[in-house]
Amino acid sequence: MKPPKQPTDTLPQNGWVTGMVTKGGTGPCYGLTTDEGTVYALYNTDGVKLQDGARVSVKLEPSLLKIYCGPGQLMTMLEAKPVK
């Protein structure tokens, strides 16, 4: 079996993705489904408040932690901005 020609878990070049918050609150764990359908489990300890169902753009990087923040690919959320 050959590996895929392109990585299958790549992020956009700038690390930003846009989607809908599926698990909100003030953290440290959040859920996000991107416009492309990718599901992320996000981790951030800054107390960022995200509302369930809100559209946001978030800046992500791979998490070095081995914790469970819900379904999806675990990522560290560096920033979050509302999308209007």
* Structural domains of the chain in order of their starting residue, each with its CATH number: 16-82 (2.40.50)
pLDDT at 61: 96
**What whole-number distance in Å separates Cα of residue 62 and Cα of residue 42?**
10
* Best CA proximity match to 76, nearest among 49, 48, 41, 47: 41
Per-residue pLDDT of the chain (84 residues; tens, 9 = 90+): 776 665 555 555 569 999 999 999 999 999 999 999 999 999 999 999 999 999 999 999 999 999 999 999 999 999 999 998
Predicted structure pTM score? 0.83
- The SS3 of residue 62 is strand
pLDDT at 1: 73
Structural tokens at position 4: 């895929």
The CA radius of gyration of the chain, in Å to the nearest whole number, is: 13
pLDDT at 84: 85
Tell me: cis bond preceding 71? Omega within 30 of 0 counts: no
